[in-house]
Structure 1
Amino acid sequence: MTTARDLAIVALDGAADRPVEQGELSLALAGAEVLDLVAARAVVLDGERLVPGGRSLTGDGLLDEAASALVREEPYEPVGDWLWRRGRGLSASYTDELERTGLAVARRGRRGALRTGRTELVESAARREARERWAAAEPVLAALAAAAGLREEPSAEVTDGTAESVVTVLVAVGTAVQELQAVRQRRVIEDAAFDNIWRGF
């Protein structure tokens, strides 16, 4: 299993207890994909830029899709830009993939015809492996989960003895999440100001 898939499983596993914003989760998933691609030698980080590696196929459908989406011309793409481009709607893509592969099922209405909008995981080896990694507080998964809002801030282990490329990606994910939250907050303020104008304030 990949870090991205484990993160998607963990997010669904805890969805009932702690709601997660899809935007933050999508950015974290895009970051997880970069780390998976680095591990598969499909990409190399040159500073903050993603340089396609010698391998392009990983055997994982969504990860192969991510590899094929890499910019293959210099000066190549910064991690931050990749997160925004690849992350758009990525959480929904992972949910759909988990359903397609039988690792999750969409909850249906009483007559079985309509979805209620909730997806539930089924018991599987993949779910058990993700849970074990989560329970062990594996530093990279914990850091990505924290960025997605699934848990409190990770332990300091994530930067102690961790590869520079991993730290670069995790910092980029954290920055992107902060930017997303700032944009969301700005919209709330602007909408409130607009409403006040119409009310005569």
Structure 2
Amino acid sequence: MGRMFAKGYDFFMRPLEKKRFKEIREELLVKANGCVLEIGSGTGINFPLYKSVKKVVATEPSTYMIERSQEKLKQSPVKIELVQAGAEKLPFPDNSFDTVVATLVLCTIPNPNQAMIEMLRVCKPGGKLLFFEHVKMDNQFLACLQEVLTPAWKKICDGCCLNRDTLTLIKGNDLLINEIKSYYNGLFLSLETIKS
């Protein structure tokens, strides 16, 4: 991730975060328990929202995002350990975490299939995987628009793929979907899933 993208991320996301995203994140993260792994923690937007968990290990591949997350790290009511790592090769043993969290990150991971394999590997059997992601829309016109916009959007937003079919990715793995909530006409979904 580039320095400029990391620097501007919170500023450009602030209107969405204030309007609805913070509430969505809070509703999702209250379901986290035990030892938590957060994938692609970015600027640390989730850090102040963790409550009743034992510990959070947050991975982030970008040095610039890690730098930007330091202030939110201080605001967290729980212990958070930051680890510089990509989602496709997590430096943790199998079955290490009770909960794995991914929020607005699967769209930018270069190999999301490998990332899902890794998230499942490090999650304990019966553990939770919590997602808040934008997805490819069901509406044919809007899905087509996502396809058209994605090449330019990827350049502007540091690799973000508007057209990524994240719901199919999640459903295609060994996960029991406990709850799905849809927002903004199906552009965003939050999911509570359980590793079987």
TM over 0.5: no
Which structure: larger Rg? 1
When normalised by structure 2's length, the TM-score is 0.28
Q: Which has the higher contact order (CA 8 A, sep 6+)?
A: 1
When normalised by structure 1's length, the TM-score is 0.28
More strand, by proportion: 2
More helix, by proportion: 1
